Amino acid sequence: MDEQAMEKHVYFTYISLRYGVAAIGALLPVGVYLLGKLKGVGLQDSISAYYWAAPTDGAAPSRDFFVGSLFAVAALLYLYKGFSKAENYLLNAAGVLLVGVALFPMEQSGASGGKFSIHGFCAVSAFAGLAFVVWFLAQKTLPLLPPEAKPERRWFRMAYIVVGFFMLASPVTAFVLISVLRTDTAFIFFVEAAGIWAFAAYWLIKSFELGKSAATKLALEGKVTTTATKELKPLASAAASRLQPQ
């Protein structure tokens, strides 16, 4: 396998990781609901409530999927290398905070015991950091789009603004409704789902944008320097040289 083939392999591995984050995120609200429904658990007041939601004669059927999905997304965010140090640090922090969301569930009653909870703090902080990435860092690759792609550049910029808004507004609204107003309504489930689906949409939109500009490919070829390629490029070159016939 030559260096070009190795770079192509690394490129598709990088893209697959992005699609994995989007897929797991998109399936989280659907998965916890369907698993609960199959065991006779109705629609809960929030996605986090599925950690405890159980039929009268059994354990919570959605808990493992809920916790496992959070850990999976957290690991992928931590392992993913952003296009800048700031993006990389924020994604790492979001990954750690999502682990906190899984390890510190909301109160079993469905509402926080007070106006502050570690669960709520981790959720809001994680999505606030991700919204910052979407609003202020994701657009840094837009200049790599070809000159004739001005309409697409405007579309991507607007898409990032909208997606970032939902990513931030969703957990903040849910936190206020649950912890401050003590509201118990299934509306919160859909508020949280909107934020999670916005998160998934970002990874799909960003992947589409990078495909249009070939930013990742250019980075692997050494034409664009990123946090990711500082590590990936030497690994690809070294691996390719070892695979060359002696």
Q: What is the pLDDT of residue 234?
A: 46
Q: What is the pLDDT of residue 166?
A: 94
Look up the domain containing 169 and give its range: 3-243
| Dihedrals phi, psi of 183, to nearest 5 degrees | -90, 130
Map 52-113 to HEC letters: CCCCCCCCCCCHHHHHHHHHHHHHHHHHCCCCCHHHHHHHHHHHHHHHHHHHCCCCCCCCCC
Q: What is the pLDDT of residue 198?
A: 96
For residue 4 the two structure tokens come to: 């070009």
Q: How far apart are CA 19 and CA 223, in angstroms?
A: 24
Q: What is the pLDDT of residue 146?
A: 82
Q: How far apart are CA 243 and CA 29, in angstroms?
A: 44
Q: What is the pLDDT of residue 231?
A: 45
Express each pLDDT in 137-174 by its tens digit: 998 888 888 888 888 899 999 999 999 999 999 988 88
Please report, for residues 88, 106, 185, the alpha-carbon distance to residue 91 in angstroms, rounded to integers and kept in the order given.
Answer: 5, 23, 31
Amino acid (1-letter code) at residue 132: F
Number of domains in the chain: 1
Q: How far apart are CA 177 and CA 48, in angstroms?
A: 13
In the chain, which stretches have pLDDT less than 70? Answer: 1-10, 109-116, 214-246
Q: How far apart are CA 187 and CA 193, in angstroms?
A: 10
Q: What is the pLDDT of residue 182?
A: 72
Q: What is the pLDDT of residue 204?
A: 94
* Whole-model pTM over 0.85: no
For residue 92 the two structure tokens come to: 């790492």
Q: What is the pLDDT of residue 217?
A: 62
**Three-state secondary-structure class, residue 165:** helix
